[in-house]
Chains A and B, each alone.
Chain A
Amino acid sequence: SQKIEQNSEALNIQEGKTATLTCNYTNYSPAYLQWYRQDPGRGPVFLLLIRENEKEKRKERLKVTFDTTLKQSLFHITASQPADSATYLCALGDPNAGNNRKLIWGLGTSLAVNP
């Protein structure tokens, strides 16, 4: 079955630097991959979606790449700010669910941006 691996260790970076988070999957390449942000005690919030035929997607300071050969997505936050501190979750569409209704979730990576 499909498994997702995200950096289990928390990432600590200095304000202004670029944060790079990794999402690796093990089996089939999904039709799309999503990134969410989750703050403590809150529900995840959607950030970006990238499709299998897209290499890169950008939104303001966020950039996502998708390499189906490496079975990996990278999530970058440029010019990071303390307000970017949160847990970031990666999720893939589950084709076995029919029409990809279900998502398979990674455990998330905690990011701390230090002022």
Chain B
Amino acid sequence: DVKVTQSSRYLVKRTGEKVFLECVQDMDHENMFWYRQDPGLGLRLIYFSYDVKMKEKGDIPEGYSVSREKKERFSLILESASTNQTSMYLCASSPRPSGKETQYFGPGTRLLVL
């Protein structure tokens, strides 16, 4: 089974702090994604990566950056956390396009910015 793990389930940070969210997948997937999920807004794509060192902006990249130095690891960075970044963050991975773009999700990190 595909396993996607995220570094923390819950995180509390202060406004202005730099925040790192880590995601690791063990199935050698090419594509990795970072979403945030908020009530009434659904899943919104922040960034995705289709290869090591490659990244593309999603729908809401402002205030975030990402890093993919190794195939299995995709990090989301909040350069200076703000209260409007309080949310549930979900990482996902999917294999090279094969006509079955199933995404496999991690358990999520619930981030609270005070």
Could you tell me which A residues sit within 8 Å of B by CB distance?
31-32, 34, 41-46, 49, 51, 89, 91, 93, 99-103, 105-108
Contact = CB atoms under 8 A, between A and B. Distances in A.
B interface residue count range (under 10 / 10 to 19 / 20 to 34 / 35 or more): 20 to 34
A100 B106 contact: no
A91 B44 CA distance: 12
Contacts of B106: 43
A101 B42 contact: no
Contact of A101 (B4, B31, B43, B104): B31
B110 interface: yes
Contact of B48 (A34, A102, A107, A108): A102
Interface in B100-114: 100-108, 110
Contacts of A107: 40-42
29 contacts: A31-B99, A34-B102, A42-B107, A42-B108, A43-B4, A43-B90, A43-B92, A43-B105, A43-B106, A43-B108, A44-B103, A44-B105, A45-B105, A49-B100, A49-B102, A51-B99, A89-B42, A89-B43, A100-B99, A101-B48, A101-B94, A101-B101, A102-B45, A102-B48, A102-B58, A105-B42, A106-B42, A107-B40, A108-B42
Secondary structure of the B contact surface, majority rule: strand
Interface of B: 4, 31, 33, 40-43, 45, 48, 50, 58, 88, 90, 92, 94, 97, 99-108, 110
Query: Which of A34, A51, A103, A106 has the most C-beta atoms of chain B within 10 angstroms of its own C-beta?
Result: A103
Nearest to A51: B99
